[in-house]
């Protein structure tokens, strides 16, 4: 009998049409390879039922995650729940827990200008040794163009989106511990 995977991927996104669509596509692509790469995926729309204590389930997944993937949009950045999830992930990372912070640029944004200073001043980020000042300091899974520049997901173009999701999975695989061959 195979042991339960020790890696948990938490996908954080704002529940708006294009972000939800991208989150589901990314989750599906990750699920396809999850057994081979030895991880599980948490996406709140798939893992929770209406009768569940959704915040308790989300908190449990945040406590056990090894990878935090944020689908970055203006709506994500302005959402109190998304920011709460982001802060939980950054706190785990800055506390030395084995948490990988990974971002996907879903909309045109300037991640280098997204400051975490208000969260630090308000006490939502509590590290004595801050390692992340701006979102631009965090590793982006992509997508990247052929010149290796970060670009936004082309969520409105199915063929391009499919290729970009494949690129994200390839980049994600590099974040996992080496597997015995």
Q: What is the pLDDT of residues 89-109, one digit of tens each?
A: 999 999 888 899 999 999 999
Tell me the CATH number at 85: 3.40.50.10140
| 2 domain residue, yes or no | no
pLDDT of 54 over the 90 cut: no
**1-10 mean pLDDT:** 82
* Prediction pTM value: 0.91
pLDDT of 50 over the 70 cut: no
**45-74 mean pLDDT:** 82
Burial state string for 66-92 with b = 16 or more CB within 10 A and e = fewer than 16: bbbbbbbbebbbebeebbbbbbbbbbb
Q: Is residue 26 within 8 Å of residue 69, measured between CB atoms?
A: yes
**Total number of domains in the chain:** 1
Longest alpha-carbon distance in the chain: 48
Q: Is residue 61 within 8 Å of residue 40, measured between CB atoms?
A: no
| 181 domain residue, yes or no | no
> What's 27's DSSP letter?
H
Tokens of 107: 């909309």
| 179 domain residue, yes or no | no
pLDDT the model gives residue 165: 96
| 123 domain residue, yes or no | yes
Chain-centroid distance of CA 63 in Å reads 14
Can you give the residue range of the structural domain that contains 32?
7-173
pLDDT of 2 over the 90 cut: no
pLDDT the model gives residue 181: 38
| 85 domain residue, yes or no | yes
Q: What is the pLDDT of residues 100-144, one digit of tens each?
A: 999 999 999 998 899 999 999 999 998 888 888 888 778 899 999
């Amino acid at each position: 009998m195979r042991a339960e995977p020790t890696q948990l991927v938490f996908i954080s996104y704002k529940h708006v049409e294009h972000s939800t669509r991208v989150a589901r596509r990314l989750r599906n692509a990750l699920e396809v390879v999850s057994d081979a790469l030895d991880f599980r995926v948490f996406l709140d729309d798939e893992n929770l039922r209406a009768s569940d204590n959704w915040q308790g389930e989300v908190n449990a997944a945040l406590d056990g995650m090894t990878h935090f993937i944020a689908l970055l949009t203006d709506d994500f950045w302005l959402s109190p729940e998304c920011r709460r999830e982001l802060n939980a992930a950054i706190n785990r990372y800055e506390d030395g827990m084995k948490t990988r912070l990974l971002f996907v640029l879903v909309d045109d944004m300037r991640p280098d200008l997204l400051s975490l200073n208000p969260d630090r001043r308000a006490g939502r980020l509590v590290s004595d040794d801050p390692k992340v000042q701006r979102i631009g300091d965090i590793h982006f899974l992509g997508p990247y163009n052929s010149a290796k520049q970060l670009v936004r997901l082309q969520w409105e173009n199915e063929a391009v989106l499919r290729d970009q999701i494949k690129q994200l999975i390839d980049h994600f695989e590099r974040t996992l511990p080496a597997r015995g061959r």
